Amino acid sequence: MKIAILSHNLVQFRGGSKVALMLGRELNLRGHKIAYVCIYENIKDLNKKFGTPHNYKVYSSEKPFLGNRLVNISIIWNMLKPFKKMFHEFKPDIAIEIGGIMTGLFPAVFMKVPTIYYCHCPTSKLAEINLYPTTKIERTYLRSLAILEKYLIKKVDKVLSQSLKTKIYLKDDWDIESDYAFPPVDTKVFTQSNKKKDIILSLCKYEPLYKLEELIKIFKKLNTRYELHFVAQTDEPNQYLNKLIESTKNDKSVVFHKNLPVSKLKKLYQRSKIFWHSTWAFYGLTIAEAQSCGVPAISFGREHGPGEIIIDGKTGYLVGNFDEIYMKTNKLLNDKKLWNKMSKAARKNAADRLGIKPFINTSLNAINEVIGKRKE
């Protein structure tokens, strides 16, 4: 079968880039031919970065209209030319949009290619619960897109949700049923190690939203010999990061990393004993990666992605404020037996629920269902 994977910007979503490339790799391993239709990213570089080698073709936009601005609107134009070329040369049996932007499916729908949309959140709901603060103009823009989505969703053959919470949103906002498939963590890459060090790890963005200064305060209050490591993808200049570095310049136990390759990130996961996530998330792939390395995670987001990844009290803790992060961390640091139990449970949680197998099984079932219905 020939399968096209669409994404307007794999690099921007970062976690989404891993999902798209892992899907392509797994489908390719099962004998399917893969083509990526994209706008901004270099697929070859990303495959090397994430360690997902496989055979594929790439169709991309050479000079994107409006750059990376107003992506929900400009993507319709920017996807049209590469998709049209792919349509005539590659002749796909099905197209899967996995970058989270439904308008990228307009060319596929227009050309009557069977379609699957992998949704992280309906835009109508995004206008109300966005992770980042939004202005009235931005919320108005999102609501206008929601009208466009409600038209397009009727033309899409199948919708998959990336979490149970998203599944609820889809039912509430679009009145559609969907299967869910957690974005997969590669449990063969992110594995446990006995070479643990006294490290607390947090993967984040170097932005005020993540309140990293609060995590630093907690770390200092713990008064341990541990190290606190922050990791983020970032581009210079970053005033927030510079401010954090200045505030900790005399403390060598607080370390900031930028743009780590997977090989180095994997080792840092494996050597860490506790993982901190300081805000809620639509999913939280980094939390799943930590679990896969046997790292108990402490996170905000009980009602969203982290609440589905972490089994509270067994593979980590879900919290509602920074005081709870301090208390739960202190508890784990002072109870080696409890930490060992949680570490083993975290790895099992990733292997059983969060890995590639359940994700690819759901994806293959969706592909077969759509193709089967189109043949009827």
Task: List, for residues 161-180, the tens digit of each pLDDT value.
Answer: 988 988 998 898 888 889 98
Q: Are 146 and 6 in a shared domain?
A: yes
pLDDT of residue 244: 95
pLDDT of residue 341: 98
Q: Are 115 and 227 in a shared domain?
A: no
Which tokens sit at 244? 């954090």
pLDDT of residue 219: 97
Length of the chain: 376
d(CA 356, CA 368): 18
Report the range of poorest mean pLDDT among 90-104, 106-120, 246-260, 352-366. Answer: 90-104
The mean per-residue pLDDT over the stretch 322-335 comes to 97
The mean per-residue pLDDT over the stretch 236-244 comes to 88
Assess if residue 118 is contained within a domain: yes
Q: Are 151 and 217 in a shared domain?
A: no
Q: Which residues form the domain of 16?
A: 2-184+356-375
The mean per-residue pLDDT over the stretch 10-23 comes to 66
Look at the block and give the residue holding tokens 């070329």. Answer: 85
Which tokens sit at 36? 């990526």
Interior/surface letters 39-61, b for 16+ CB within 10 angstroms, e for the rest: bbbebeebbebbbbeeebeebbb
Condensed to tens digits (0 to 9), the pLDDT of residues 71-114 reads 556 677 778 888 999 999 999 999 999 876 777 788 899 999 99
Assess if residue 224 is contained within a domain: yes
Helix, strand or coil, per DSSP, at residue 5: strand
Average per-residue pLDDT in the chain?
87
Report the range of poorest mean pLDDT among 10-24, 86-100, 271-285. Answer: 10-24
Assess if residue 191 is contained within a domain: no
Q: What percentage of the chain reaches a pLDDT higher than 70?
A: 89
Interior/surface letters 187-209, b for 16+ CB within 10 angstroms, e for the rest: bebbbbeeebeebbbbbbbbeee
Q: Are 230 and 258 in a shared domain?
A: yes
Look at the block and give the residue holding tokens 């270099």. Answer: 42
Q: Are 167 and 209 in a shared domain?
A: no
pLDDT of residue 47: 80
CATH number at residue 147: 3.40.50.2000
Pairing of strands 227-232, 158-161: unpaired
Assess if residue 190 is contained within a domain: no
Q: Are 59 and 144 in a shared domain?
A: yes
Assess if residue 192 is contained within a domain: no
Report the range of poorest mean pLDDT among 96-100, 226-230, 314-318. Answer: 96-100
Q: Are 368 and 308 in a shared domain?
A: no
Total of domains in the chain: 2
Assess if residue 44 is contained within a domain: yes
Q: Are 168 and 205 in a shared domain?
A: no
**How confident is residue 131, by pLDDT bands cut at 50, 70 and 90?**
low
Which tokens sit at 268? 């840092």
pLDDT of residue 130: 64
- Whether the per-residue pLDDT at 11 is higher than 60: the answer is no
Q: Are 84 and 205 in a shared domain?
A: no
Q: Give the residue ranges of DSSP H helices in 204-261.
A: 212-222, 239-247
d(CA 50, CA 215): 28
Report the range of poorest mean pLDDT among 33-42, 106-115, 126-135, 208-217. Answer: 126-135
Q: Tell which wins on pLDDT, 130 or 88.
A: 88
Q: Are 156 and 250 in a shared domain?
A: no
**Helices 336-349 and 322-333, axial angle in degrees (round to 10):** 110
d(CA 345, CA 143): 41
Assess if residue 265 is contained within a domain: yes
Please state, in angstroms and as integers, the Cα–Cα distance from residue 321 to each residue in 56, 206, 223, 313, following that order: 45, 20, 20, 16
The mean per-residue pLDDT over the stretch 236-253 comes to 91
Assess if residue 35 is contained within a domain: yes
Q: Are 129 and 86 in a shared domain?
A: yes
The mean per-residue pLDDT over the stretch 154-159 comes to 92
Reported as half-sphere exposure (CB side, CA atoms, 13 A), residue 241 has a value of: 16
- Is residue 331 within 8 A of residue 338, CB to CB? The reply is yes
Q: Are 158 and 305 in a shared domain?
A: no
Contacts of 110 (CB under 8 A, 6+ apart): none
**How confident is residue 69, by pLDDT bands cut at 50, 70 and 90?**
low
Q: Give the residue ranges of DSSP H helices in 259-335.
A: 262-271, 285-292, 305-309, 322-333
Which tokens sit at 64? 């994107």
